[in-house]
């Protein structure tokens, strides 16, 4: 009796346990599976789970998001909470160092990790929903907006937003990236703002020009991006506009700026010879559009863009044109010069060639580069008369420029730096070096034929 009663009691207890376990998973199907996907975390209340996240780095949280869909959804909820926002959305963009972190760890690294976290958490969402969620999370960060920061030149906000988006969109296909661009374009109302600056007088909207420059360079053209990505984003920025506006916008984004207030300096290219630093950004952008990564741009498109650029806001000094072409690389330089040869603009081509020789002399480039470029251009001419006419124009240009500079020196037109005499000095040396290389080339050809 005792044993039978014990067994019946045991059986009853087992049934109760089974019933209680069934009750604990009271909703069949998805909820049960979701709880099991949490593993050991299912025993923790949500508040404790979120408190634990405060002890993990952002990289560790992003790794945790890959464990299961259920944990990922919990992390999405955590990011949206006030404590998660305070923890993850650091806004000390005017201080390069993060408190409590190793020396040298920057806020840029933090937003790279945050971009990876949101990339993993939203992996299963459609692109449109991912963008809406990301915008919802970041909407409270004023320094991520085009006009959000009162001191944009001393703020890392837009750069942090840029590296965040760079990590978030890495590996996305072109259609998805188009959606990202359109989303940002509409969100920041860039179309209307760009229309304002490209249709008004250069420099009349200086603050807006600066904001557009910083936004495009920091967010859309984030430093460290792959060339193909930079070519894609730059194409999206420029292509909606006519060629003349593309050139204006290119100058706003990559042209020289004042070291005092950061505003675009429009008169830099027309007031006097400039240095390589002022032209490097424009040259790099032109090389990017001319390269194989920019599939929507033809050689003619880029040459037309360079032509338009050289008259903004007025016609540039020829020396600055020559320096830009040299910095843009051999392929672009030759294509630009060859187009002038084909179109019968021998005098303009000769003048540009002389200034290239002058830039080689001033900036310490090898003069044989200029001579070899002249050789390649000479092969473009279809008849010997055209070639000889170009060479005659070249020598006449050297002579006329020397006479003009000599007259300026004799007339006593000198400034504090004595630039007129210095220009004459450089031009005489440039002519001598240029002709010396031609003689070397001629003698070597004679030696090889005999």
pLDDT band at 25 (very low <50, low <70, confident <90, very high): very low
CA distances from 434 to 164, 369, 395 (A): 50, 10, 11
- How much is the pLDDT for 102? 44
pLDDT band at 167 (very low <50, low <70, confident <90, very high): very high
pLDDT in tens, 261-318: 999 999 999 999 999 999 999 999 999 999 988 899 999 999 999 999 999 999 999 9
- How much is the pLDDT for 51? 86
pLDDT in tens, 90-131: 988 987 555 544 433 489 999 999 999 999 999 988 999 999
Q: Map tokens 């560790």 to a residue.
A: 60
pLDDT band at 338 (very low <50, low <70, confident <90, very high): very high
User: Mean of the pLDDT values across residues 344-353?
Assistant: 96
pLDDT band at 410 (very low <50, low <70, confident <90, very high): confident
CA distances from 106 to 110, 111, 434 (A): 7, 9, 50
41 vs 48: CA distance, rounded Å: 10
pLDDT in tens, 189-228: 999 999 999 999 999 999 999 999 999 999 999 888 899 9
User: Is the bond leading into 390 cis (omega within 30 degrees of zero)?
Assistant: no
Tokens of 176: 């998805």
Report, in angstroms and rounded to the nearest whole number, the Rg of the chain calculated over CA atoms: 32
**Are 435 and 359 in contact, with CB atoms under 8 Å apart?**
no
Residue 382, SS3 per DSSP: coil
The tally of CA atoms less than 13 A away on the side-chain side of residue 373 is: 28
Q: pTM for this one?
A: 0.86
201 vs 192: CA distance, rounded Å: 16
156 vs 96: CA distance, rounded Å: 8
- How much is the pLDDT for 36? 56
Residue 58 has pLDDT above 60, yes or no: yes
């Amino acid at each position: 009796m005792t044993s039978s009663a014990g067994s019946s009691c045991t059986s009853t207890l087992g049934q109760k346990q089974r019933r209680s376990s069934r009750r604990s998973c009271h909703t069949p199907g998805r909820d049960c599976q979701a709880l099991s996907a949490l593993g050991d975390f299912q025993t923790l209340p949500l508040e404790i789970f979120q408190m634990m996240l405060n002890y993990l780095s952002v990289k560790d949280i992003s790794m945790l998001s890959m464990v299961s869909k259920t944990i990922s959804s919990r992390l999405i909820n955590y990011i949206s909470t006030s404590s998660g926002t305070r923890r993850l959305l650091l806004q000390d963009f005017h201080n390069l160092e993060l408190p409590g972190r190793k020396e040298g760890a920057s806020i840029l690294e933090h937003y790279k990790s945050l971009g990876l976290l949101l990339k993993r958490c939203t992996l299963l969402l459609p692109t449109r929903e991912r963008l809406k969620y990301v915008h919802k999370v970041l909407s409270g960060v004023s320094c991520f907006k085009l006009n959000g920061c009162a001191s944009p030149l001393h703020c890392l906000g837009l750069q942090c937003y840029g590296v965040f988006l760079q990590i978030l969109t890495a590996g996305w296909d072109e259609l998805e990236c188009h959606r990202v661009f359109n989303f940002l374009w509409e969100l920041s109302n860039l179309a209307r703002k760009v229309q304002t600056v490209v249709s008004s007088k250069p420099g009349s909207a200086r603050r807006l020009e600066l904001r557009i420059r910083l936004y495009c360079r920091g967010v859309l053209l984030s430093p460290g991006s792959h060339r193909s990505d930079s070519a894609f984003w730059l194409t999206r920025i420029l292509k909606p506009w006519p060629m003349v506006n593309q050139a204006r916008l290119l100058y706003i984004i990559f042209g020289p700026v004042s070291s005092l207030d950061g505003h675009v300096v429009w008169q830099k290219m027309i007031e006097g010879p400039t240095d390589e630093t002022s032209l490097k950004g424009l040259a790099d952008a032109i090389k990017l559009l001319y390269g194989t990564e920019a599939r929507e741009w033809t050689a003619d498109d880029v040459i037309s863009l360079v032509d338009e650029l050289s008259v903004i806001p007025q016609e540039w000094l020829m020396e600055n044109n020559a320096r830009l072409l040299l910095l843009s690389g051999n392929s672009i330089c030759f294509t630009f010069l060859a187009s002038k040869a084909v179109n019968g603009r021998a005098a303009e081509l000769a003048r540009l060639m002389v200034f290239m020789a002058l830039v080689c002399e001033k900036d310490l480039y090898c003069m044989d580069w200029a001579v070899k470029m002249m050789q390649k251009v000479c092969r473009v001419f279809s008849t010997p008369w055209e070639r000889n006419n170009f060479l005659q124009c070249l020598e006449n240009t050297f002579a006329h420029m020397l006479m003009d500079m000599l007259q300026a020196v004799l007339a006593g037109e000198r400034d504090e730096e004595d630039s007129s005499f210095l220009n004459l000095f450089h031009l005489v040396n440039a002519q001598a070096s240029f002709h010396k290389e031609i003689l070397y080339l001629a003698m070597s050809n004679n030696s090889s034929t005999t």
